[in-house]
């Protein structure tokens, strides 16, 4: 993990983004706003707001109340469920 200043990042952004694309994480240090970790967004990362997250939970609760769910008891059933998506 590399640590760089905001000036270094601005001046060499393409290089640092290339490192991040290759899987390396970067710590970006600022004078007055703290430090930040920059990493590539992975396929299984979820990008949603807090409101969207809680709305999804509420919709899932309503689906359960309506009986719209699948009971999975074994790993094989779980594997089959994900293969069907």
If asked whether residues 31 and 54 sit together in one domain, one would say no
pTM of the model: 0.52
Residues 34 and 55 in one domain: no
The C-alpha atoms of residue 33 and residue 12 are separated, in whole angstroms, by 20
CB atoms within 10 A of CB 16: 19
**CATH no. for residue 21?**
3.40.1620.10
How many Cα atoms occupy the beta-carbon half-sphere of 10 within 13 Å? Answer: 5
Task: Read off the pLDDT of residues 61-74 as tens digits, 9 standing for 90 and up.
Answer: 999 999 999 999 99
Specify if 43 maps to a domain: no
What does the pLDDT look like over 25-58, one tens digit per residue? 999 999 999 999 999 988 777 788 899 999 999 9
Which tens digits make up the pLDDT trace of 7-16?
A: 999 999 999 9
In a domain? residue 31: yes
Assigned domain for 44 exists? no
DSSP annotation string for 26-72: EEEE-SSS-EEEE-PPPTT-----HHHHHHHHHHHHHHHHTT-----
């Amino acid at each position: 993990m590399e640590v760089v200043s905001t000036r270094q990042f601005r001046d060499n952004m393409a290089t640092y983004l290339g490192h991040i694309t290759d899987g390396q994480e970067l710590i970006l240090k600022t004078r007055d706003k703290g430090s930040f970790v920059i990493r590539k967004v992975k396929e299984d990362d979820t990008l949603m707001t807090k409101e969207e997250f809680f709305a999804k939970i509420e919709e899932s609760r309503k689906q359960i109340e309506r009986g719209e769910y699948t009971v999975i008891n074994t790993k094989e059933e779980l594997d089959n469920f994900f293969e069907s998506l």
